[in-house]
């Protein structure tokens, strides 16, 4: 399934299920509310299965409150507009090596020991098509092409062998980065600060693990998805990578994030940037830093396209 949080034509926020160019609008006030109701989510899953191949009208299994709308008549928000927490990992080796090389640094052995992360801002979340305000005072705005998972059930000290069962689904993530701010942040040895907390885009929806099963191989620490990831700026492709090249699986990230800490339904875990997935890696000879008016499209096979314009 592709699950979404959306705004109806009369301005009401609801959870929805995307069916091609249509969406079933549910009675839940948000996708997060739906994920917190496991029995309700299972009923939605069964209705979705029954709906396959029947595009003319909704099957009764959706319930009396469900309505079918054209996708173009709805406004898609970030799947989880206000996540309880949001962690961003550093899980693609190619990106880490290239970013360190830009600073004249070699890889360090500690990176291969734990899937490290930082907490990022949950109050500046933007959905698909939402305009992204250029950060005041910056001159080096960058993209970061990432995939993120959303936690579907609460857990603490989760074994890596069970961690995939805690994933509600996957979405595209753009960890917008002000590189000039970030250079200042990193000199102080506390990790990303103002270089990261002004905007994060998520969307266009949440693709459940069964939706992506055709791309999956392995399990737990070895789980990988053969899903190309690409970035376009103003219609020109500048980056292409693949989810399968991730060094740490999401199961490993979840196991580490949940050590001595409780993960909650709706928590977002970002993968970190895929190799070549940002201007910092590519260099400004490939593409200049972003400017107001630039249209950024991030696309991941099996999920869709996350599109935003810088303003």
Q: Mean pLDDT in runs of 10 for the chain (311 residues)?
A: 97 97 97 98 97 88 94 97 98 92 88 97 97 98 98 98 98 98 91 94 98 98 98 98 98 98 98 97 96 98 98 98
Helix (H) or strand (E) holding 146: strand 145-151
Instruction: Determine the pLDDT at residue 56.
Output: 76
pTM summary value: 0.97
Residues in Cβ contact with 201 at an 8 Å cutoff, skipping those fewer than 6 apart: 78, 125, 126, 127, 128, 130, 132, 172, 173, 174, 176, 298, 306, 308
Q: What is the DSSP string of 53-75?
A: T--SS--GGG-TT-EEEEGGGSE
Quote the tokens at residue 240: 């292409």
Bridge partners (DSSP) listed for residue 4: 16
Bridge partners (DSSP) listed for residue 166: none
Name the nearest CA neighbour of 306 among 125, 35, 48. 125
Residues in Cβ contact with 172 at an 8 Å cutoff, skipping those fewer than 6 apart: 146, 147, 148, 201, 202, 203, 204, 298, 299, 300, 303, 304, 305, 306
The domains found in the chain, sorted by start residue, are: 2-76 (no CATH), 86-309 (3.90.850.10)
For residues 217-237, one letter each, b for 16 or more C-beta atoms within 10 angstroms of the residue's C-beta and e for the rest, the string is eeebeebbbebebbbbbeeee
Instruction: Determine the pLDDT at residue 280.
Output: 95
Name the nearest CA neighbour of 298 among 211, 219, 220, 237. 237
| H-state helical runs in 90-214 | 93-102, 179-187
What whole-number distance in Å separates Cα of residue 195 and Cα of residue 120?
A: 10
Bridge partners (DSSP) listed for residue 215: none
Nearest 5°: the CA angle 249, 111, 258 is 50
- The residue to which tokens 């933007």 are assigned: 126
Instruction: Determine the pLDDT at residue 209.
Output: 98
Instruction: Determine the pLDDT at residue 57.
Output: 87
Quote the tokens at residue 281: 């890696």
What whole-number distance in Å separates Cα of residue 4 and Cα of residue 24?
A: 10
Instruction: Determine the pLDDT at residue 228.
Output: 98
Instruction: Determine the pLDDT at residue 311.
Output: 98
Nearest 5°: the CA angle 272, 274, 277 is 105
Q: Are 23 and 17 in contact (CB under 8 A)?
A: yes
- The secondary structure of residue 273, as a DSSP letter, is P
């Amino acid at each position: 399934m592709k699950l979404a949080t959306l705004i109806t034509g009369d301005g009401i926020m609801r959870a929805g299920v995307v069916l091609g160019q249509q969406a079933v609008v549910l009675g839940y006030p948000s996708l997060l509310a739906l994920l917190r109701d496991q029995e309700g989510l299972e009923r939605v899953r069964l209705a979705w299965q029954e709906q396959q191949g029947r595009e003319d009208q909704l099957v009764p299994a959706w319930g009396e409150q469900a309505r079918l709308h054209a996708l173009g008549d709805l406004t898609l928000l970030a799947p989880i507009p206000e996540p309880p927490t949001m962690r961003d990992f550093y899980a693609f080796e190619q990106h880490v090596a290239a970013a360190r090389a830009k600073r004249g640094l070699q890889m360090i052995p500690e990176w291969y020991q734990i899937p490290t992360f930082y907490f990022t801002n949950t109050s500046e979340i933007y959905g698909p098509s939402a305009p992204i305000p250029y950060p005041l005072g910056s001159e080096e705005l960058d993209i970061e092409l990432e995939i993120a998972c959303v936690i579907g059930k609460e857990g603490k000290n989760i074994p890596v062998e069970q961690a995939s069962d805690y994933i509600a689904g996957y979405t595209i993530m753009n960890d917008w980065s002000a590189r000039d701010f970030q250079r200042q942040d990193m000199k102080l040895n506390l990790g990303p600060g103002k270089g990261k907390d002004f905007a994060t885009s998520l969307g266009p929806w949440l693709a459940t693990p069964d939706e992506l099963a055709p791309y999956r191989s392995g399990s737990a620490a070895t789980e990988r998805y053969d899903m190309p990831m690409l970035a376009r700026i103003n219609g020109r492709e500048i980056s292409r990578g693949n989810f399968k090249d991730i060094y740490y699986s999401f199961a490993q990230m979840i196991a580490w994030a949940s050590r001595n800490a409780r993960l909650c339904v709706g928590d977002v875990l970002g993968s970190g940037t895929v190799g070549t997935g940002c201007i910092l890696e590519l260099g400004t000879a490939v593409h200049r830093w972003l400017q107001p008016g630039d249209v950024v499209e991030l696309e991941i096979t099996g999920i869709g396209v996350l599109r935003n314009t810088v303003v």
